[in-house]
Structure 1
Amino acid sequence: MLISRRDLLKTAGSATVLASASPGLVFAAAPTNKRFVTIILRGGMDALTAVAPYADPNYARLRSFLSLGKPGEKNGALDLNGHFGLDPNLSYLEPLYKKGELAILHAATTNYRGRSHFDGQNVLENGTPKPYGTDSGWLNRSLELMTDGERRVGLSVGHAVPLMMRGKTDVQTWAPSALPKAEGDFLDRLMRVYEGDPVFEHALKQAMKSAALSAGVTDGMGKVNARSTSLKIMAEAAGKLLAKTNGPRIAVIESGGWDTHAGQHLLLRNKLKELNIGLEALQQHLGDTWRETVIVVVSEFGRTVAANGTRGTDHGTGGLGFILGGAVKGGQFIGKWPGIAEQHQFQGRDLAPVNDYRSLFKTVLHEHLGLAEGKIEDAIFPDSRSARMFSGLIRRA
């Protein structure tokens, strides 16, 4: 049977759901054993529900029906430090905080002060002060400084490579596949047929390497199809791949649906449950590499302090970041807290953004991954010297 070049590439790709975003991938010795995962919550997560300042005397009054009860009450917050508490749907995070493996940066965002999802996400991901400041992502630029031209350590988990991971440096991608799995020695036979063809020999070699690396990724996941967007599935895959000794080290995972303009109570409850399950799955499948891992969870901005007329919240400014992992010095809130009283709100409606996500990212890149501070300032987060790094956030090996 004759096989066209298009069919060959499609078949080679079906050997695995892991593929190179661009050619030239080689899995050699990794430049670091540290792992770093960024989870982007697209839509603007309501930070004041996820981590509620329940002890603030203004909280229940300003949040009305959106407010969580006090710890011990029905549907009450899970107490962290006597002032803040987790939404009960984030129960996985409570013991992590008490164990010292979760830190929280509240009242935080990028330097963006508009209310556009697209512009806000662009600033979050490109690492510059402007939505269209560059067409590469800050995490890809970080990879460029970490790699030696041969080893590729980046992984994008999802159906598209987000801006944060786009750039000059090759990354791996993983997403649920609709293509059938190649059986037996099929790729070996194809290799013999197309040996000497520079394009297809290279493509087949990449497919074989990727097939070996991704072996077992979907085991135990149940039914997985190409339309799957479950954070649990994405997190399981990321954890398994990052745990491999010859696998990637730096990953990005996306989660959509966090825009809660109407009916927020039910919608956000379900999203927080999904995040809770996903984070637990990620830790489980990282296994022993959890000790060397930092996970950062962020959204492009927060929500308004007060509810709107459709029992939801509108685009705000200050959000929050979760920082968790075995390499995190947790059990603490980092940064400043502005309060939520009217006189402290940004533009009279939002949680004030007194902390900068770039401070968090820069800290992880420098303290955890070992990138030079000067290179971070110049190449990764230009014009960010006002965003100072945090001390005492990362455990020293």
Structure 2
Amino acid sequence: MAILLDRRRFLGGLAVGCSAAASPLMTPVVFASAPWEQRLVVLILRGAMDGLDVVRPVGDPAYRAMRPTLAQGGLPLDGWWELHPALEPLLPLWEAGEMGAVHAVSTPYRDRRSHFDGQDILEAGTGEEGLAGAKDGWLNRMLQAVPGIEAQTAYAIGREELKILVGAAPVSSWSPDARLELSPQARRLLEVLYHDDPLFRAASAEALGIVDELHREGQSGGGELAGHVQLAQFAAARLRGETRIASFSLGGWDTHGDQRRTLARALRTLVETIQALREDLGPVWGHTAVLCMTEFGRTARENGSKGTDHGTGGAMLFAGGALRGGRVVGDWPGLGDGDLYAGRDLMPTRDVRAHAAWVMRGLFGLGRDVLDGAVFPRLDLGSDPGLVL
């Protein structure tokens, strides 16, 4: 125990020290204006959000047996679905039809379950076969298909670019001061470095938790706002003007151990982000769609560390007054032994990119040929899931 505590102290100190030295290394927010009234915000949830814990299929007879620790204390929705208890502050949005979920979805990425590859494929919007040649992201390719796109004024350039908006269409980037915050690269490096060492993996997660708690303490103590709230508020300020597209990422979703605590922390960050967007957008919220996307799901069964490992099928959360929420959308594949992908993961029944494409079609009127050609090459759009009002 003494060794574990010493490692936690070391990693906690390292996290704080590195983040202070690296300021500003926070996730940038990327913006673009466009000739529409509707707004689109894409949140990348880095680390592979466990959709089976966030939106729980408790009506499936196999669910609770697979997750004896994680299945406790959910928020009932309709008898089949429950929400993670950390999402309780967003229940009013769900009940108002301004928040929902899409389940049993994934990108085309399969089997290797690498955060780096999974996130690159998610942001590039390609299949694995097209990733090597992808020079831009799917949001930028969407903007390239619209004449007259102009970039917003740049405020301060962050060191990291979001691949999702990299490309020929003009966009602008901004990042707040990130004191006491690790960059997404640093978080991902720690996750990869300690992935196969349970002791250091737990210590790393604890250290990142310390950093996040320091942000919240600073906010509650009258100090600076937490970084994710700054991002959301600045995004909302721009979206109230000429900006129509915004994207940024939230880390902390890799939950190999002690998932009840670590996932609750990540969900609190997401809750505060969506609340800040809702409050600061004001009447513009009614013209806004927020898509919360992650690189892949997690294993159907919880592991011996009361967490979950890298999986395949998962969930996409969505919010905003422009979308039809209050429901879970998707074709449920079941959790029986014969239903799982590779005998371990939720089986994807639809490409998550199709849902993003149909949202863009509903918001911006883009043609199917643009969406399944330029934006998401060779995507099978399928039928309209009816997400947009």
TM bracket, shorter-chain basis: 0.7 to 0.9
1:109·1:301 contact (CA, 8 Å) conserved in 2?
Answer: yes
How many angstroms does 1:93 deviate by?
A: 2.8
Secondary structure at the aligned position of 2:338 is classed as helix
Counterparts in 2 of 1:270 and 1:20: CA distance versus 1, 3 Å: closer
Counterparts in 2 of 1:106 and 1:293: CA distance versus 1, 3 Å: same
Q: Work out the CA distance in 2 between the residues paired with 1:176 and 1:300.
A: 25
Query: Aligned pair count?
Result: 320
How many angstroms does 1:148 deviate by?
A: 0.9
Give 2:202's aligned residue. none
1:38·1:297 contact (CA, 8 Å) conserved in 2?
Answer: yes
Divergent runs of 4+, >3 A: 19-22, 149-159, 220-225
Give 1:102's aligned residue. 99
**More off after superposition, 326-335 vs 37-46:** 326-335
Q: Deviations over 1:180-220 (max 9, x none)?
A: xxxxxxxxxxxxxxxxxxxxxxxxxxxxxxxxxxxxxxxx9
Q: Work out the CA distance in 1 between the residues paired with 2:238 and 2:272.
A: 18
Q: Work out the CA distance in 1 between the residues paired with 2:335 and 2:133.
A: 32
Secondary structure at the aligned position of 2:377 is classed as coil
2:99·2:318 contact (CA, 8 Å) conserved in 1?
Answer: yes
Please, which of 108, 112, 118 is the counterpart of residue 111 of structure 1?
A: 108
Give 1:89's aligned residue. 86
Please, which of 345, 350, 354 is the counterpart of residue 345 of structure 2?
A: 350
How many angstroms does 1:310 deviate by?
A: 2.2
Give 1:204's aligned residue. none
Q: Work out the CA distance in 2 between the residues paired with 1:320 and 1:88.
A: 16
Asked if residue 332 in structure 1 is aligned to residue 311 in structure 2, the reply is no
Kindly provide the amino acid, as one letter, of the partner of residue 231 in structure 1.
H
Q: Work out the CA distance in 2 between the residues paired with 1:156 and 1:108.
A: 35
Q: Deviations over 1:232-285 (max 9, x none)?
A: 2211221122112xx311010101121111222211111111111111111111
1:45·1:303 contact (CA, 8 Å) conserved in 2?
Answer: yes
Give 1:12's aligned residue. none
Give 2:306's aligned residue. 311
How many angstroms does 1:389 deviate by?
A: 4.5
1:328·1:393 contact (CA, 8 Å) conserved in 2?
Answer: yes
How many angstroms does 1:66 deviate by?
A: 1.4
Which runs of structure 2 are paired with 1:113-192 in the superposition (5 Å)? 113-114=110-111, 115-130=113-128, 131-150=131-150, 160-177=160-177
Give the unaligned 5+ runs of structure 2: 1-25, 180-219
Counterparts in 2 of 1:122 and 1:221: CA distance versus 1, 3 Å: farther
Which runs of structure 2 are paired with 1:200-219 in the superposition (5 Å)? none
Give the unaligned 5+ runs of structure 1: 1-16, 69-75, 180-219
Q: Work out the CA distance in 2 between the residues paired with 1:121 and 1:327.
A: 26
Give 1:264's aligned residue. 259
How many angstroms does 1:315 deviate by?
A: 0.2
Higher helix share: 2
Kindly provide the amino acid, as one letter, of the partner of residue 239 in structure 1.
A
Please, which of 35, 38, 59 is the counterpart of residue 31 of structure 1?
A: 35
Give 2:53's aligned residue. 49
1:319·1:351 contact (CA, 8 Å) conserved in 2?
Answer: yes
Counterparts in 2 of 1:350 and 1:21: CA distance versus 1, 3 Å: closer
1:105·1:335 contact (CA, 8 Å) conserved in 2?
Answer: yes
How many angstroms does 1:156 deviate by?
A: 11
Q: Could you say which structure has the larger radius of gyration?
A: 1
How many angstroms does 1:316 deviate by?
A: 0.3
Which runs of structure 2 are paired with 1:222-237 in the superposition (5 Å)? 223-224=223-224, 230-237=227-234
2:70·2:260 contact (CA, 8 Å) conserved in 1?
Answer: yes
**More off after superposition, 135-144 vs 147-156:** 147-156
Please, which of 59, 68, 78 is the counterpart of residue 63 of structure 2?
A: 59
Give 1:373's aligned residue. 368
Secondary structure at the aligned position of 1:92 is classed as helix
Report the TM-score when normalising by structure 2.
0.76
How many angstroms does 1:63 deviate by?
A: 0.8
Secondary structure at the aligned position of 2:243 is classed as coil
How many angstroms does 1:333 deviate by?
A: 2.1
Q: Work out the CA distance in 2 between the residues paired with 1:135 and 1:248.
A: 24
Which runs of structure 2 are paired with 1:11-22 in the superposition (5 Å)? none
Q: Work out the CA distance in 1 between the residues paired with 2:302 and 2:337.
A: 14
How many angstroms does 1:155 deviate by?
A: 11
Q: Work out the CA distance in 2 between the residues paired with 1:33 and 1:65.
A: 45
**More off after superposition, 163-172 vs 96-105:** 96-105
Q: Work out the CA distance in 1 between the residues paired with 2:96 and 2:156.
A: 29
The alignment-based identity, stated in percent, is: 38
Kindly provide the amino acid, as one letter, of the partner of residue 48 in structure 1.
L
Q: Work out the CA distance in 1 between the residues paired with 2:109 and 2:155.
A: 26
Kindly provide the amino acid, as one letter, of the partner of residue 34 in structure 1.
Q
Give 1:320's aligned residue. 315
Q: Work out the CA distance in 2 between the residues paired with 1:161 and 1:255.
A: 14
Kindly provide the amino acid, as one letter, of the partner of residue 132 in structure 1.
A
Counterparts in 2 of 1:149 and 1:316: CA distance versus 1, 3 Å: closer
Secondary structure at the aligned position of 1:294 is classed as strand
Report the TM-score when normalising by structure 1.
0.74
How many angstroms does 1:351 deviate by?
A: 0.8
Give 1:78's aligned residue. 75
Q: Work out the CA distance in 2 between the residues paired with 1:240 and 1:21.
A: 13
1:122·1:132 contact (CA, 8 Å) conserved in 2?
Answer: no
Q: Work out the CA distance in 1 between the residues paired with 2:267 and 2:178.
A: 28
How many angstroms does 1:391 deviate by?
A: 3.9
Secondary structure at the aligned position of 1:315 is classed as coil
1:292·1:327 contact (CA, 8 Å) conserved in 2?
Answer: yes
Kindly provide the amino acid, as one letter, of the partner of residue 386 in structure 2.
G
Q: Work out the CA distance in 2 between the residues paired with 1:156 and 1:83.
A: 46
